[in-house]
């Protein structure tokens, strides 16, 4: 049996330079398509495109619409990296969100907020991680200079006293404050934030805290407000003003040191809403249901009968 001749290794042909030049590449796409691709990436991946080629080294810096989303995962960027990215980004910031900000980054937010104000941030979400033995961080005053904001969500921080130059948030449509504190007489700052946001449509105030023993009356008044949610240990002197566009209201107040409160006046201001949930502890459990399209749930868990502040609210 004759041995078969040895097989020759096929020599790989060198690439044809002309063919390579004709092959499509990312760089051949129109600039607007490239911008669209980069703007859809997470900020971390958008920055990494600088390693693709020399032409891509600084492309992300001038691409509008990149969303700056950070969290506390193991892959999260260190605070210094966020500093560098914000410093190099040349476009307005559309969305900046940092979920679960760790203690070591608390003070860095004092650098980020002024930078974001200067870059016209439109949506700002800052959720500070909760610690047992760490002081709650007070935001930088520059938060009042973010006049391009349409959405503002804060969690676990103190809001500083508004400066005299505060001119409101003319474009704000969403304001959500959870476990947010205000310094003494901060109810006036909160009132101003709401009143000086004429386009506000959604307001969520949950577990807010205002320092001090005595509180001035403050009014929620917003012509375009459609959704109101207020949940706190006490109302801190809350009053309801003109809310002609209000559709849904959810109000939960855990305690009242005094029952000397005109709840009828309070509820009258909410008479136009389609859905109302109102929970307060006053003397006894009651469930009140208004006719038509109103659904009102009122819980009085402490005593067996309703007191005079609710005299016009019929028990069922």
- The verdict on residue 41 lying in a domain is no
Q: Is residue 228 part of a domain?
A: no
Is 31 part of any domain?
no
Q: Which residue has the higher pLDDT, 306 or 230?
A: 230
Asked if residue 281 belongs to a domain, the reply is yes
pTM of the model: 0.79
Report the percentage of the chain scoring pLDDT > 90: 43
Q: Are 287 and 240 in contact (CB under 8 A)?
A: no
pLDDT at 285 over 50: no
The separation between CA 301 and the C-alpha centre of its own chain, rounded to angstroms, equals 33
Query: Cβ distance 244 to 218 under 8 Å?
Result: no
Whether residue 299 lies inside any domain: the answer is yes
Question: For residue 261, what are the domain limits?
Answer: 247-316
Q: What pLDDT is stored for residue 25 in this prediction?
A: 60
- Asked if residue 211 is part of any domain, the answer here is no
233-258 residue pLDDT tens: 888 889 999 999 999 999 988 876 55
DSSP string, 255-292: --S-----HHHHHHTTTT-SEEEEE---SS------ST
Statement: residue 199 has pLDDT above 90: yes
Query: How is residue 219 written in tokens?
Result: 């009014």
- Rounded CA-CA distance 293/273 in Å is 9
Instruction: For residues 140 and 124, give the distance between their C-alpha atoms in angstroms, rounded to a whole number.
Output: 13
Closest CA to 158 of 197, 94, 106, 232: 106
- Classify 238 as helix, strand or coil: strand
Tell me if 307 is assigned to some domain. Answer: yes
pLDDT at 59: 80
pLDDT of residue 298: 46
- Total domains in the chain come to 1
Decide if 252 is inside a domain.
yes
């Amino acid at each position: 049996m004759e041995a078969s001749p040895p097989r020759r290794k096929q020599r790989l042909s060198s690439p044809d330079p002309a063919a390579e030049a004709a092959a499509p590449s990312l760089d051949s796409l129109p600039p607007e398509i490239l911008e669209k691709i980069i703007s859809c990436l997470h900020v971390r991946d958008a920055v990494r495109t600088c390693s693709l080629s020399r032409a891509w080294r600084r492309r992300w810096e001038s691409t509008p619409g990149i969303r700056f989303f950070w969290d506390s995962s193991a892959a999260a960027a260190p605070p210094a990296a966020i500093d560098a990215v914000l410093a190099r980004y040349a476009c307005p910031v559309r969305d900046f969100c940092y979920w679960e900000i760790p203690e070591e980054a608390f003070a860095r937010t004092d650098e980020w907020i002024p930078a974001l104000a200067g870059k016209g941030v439109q949506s700002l979400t800052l959720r500070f991680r909760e610690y047992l033995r760490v002081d709650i961080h007070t935001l930088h005053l520059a938060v009042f200079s973010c006049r391009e904001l349409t959405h503002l969500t804060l969690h676990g921080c103190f809001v500083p006293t508004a400066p005299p130059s505060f001119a409101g948030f003319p474009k704000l449509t969403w304001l959500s404050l959870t476990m947010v504190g205000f310094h003494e007489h901060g109810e006036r700052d909160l009132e101003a934030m709401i009143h000086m946001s004429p386009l506000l449509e959604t307001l969520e105030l949950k577990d807010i805290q205002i320092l001090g023993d005595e509180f001035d009356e403050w009014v929620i008044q917003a012509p375009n407000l459609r959704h109101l949610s207020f949940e706190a240990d006490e109302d801190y002197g809350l009053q309801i003003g003109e809310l002609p566009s209000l559709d849904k209201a959810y109000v939960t107040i855990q305690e009242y040191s005094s029952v000397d409160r005109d709840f009828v006046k309070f509820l009258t201001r909410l008479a136009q809403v389609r859905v109302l949930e109102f929970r307060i502890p006053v003397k006894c459990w009651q469930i009140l249901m208004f006719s038509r399209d109103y659904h009102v749930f009122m819980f009085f868990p402490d005593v067996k009968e309703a007191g005079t502040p609710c005299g016009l609210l019929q028990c069922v």
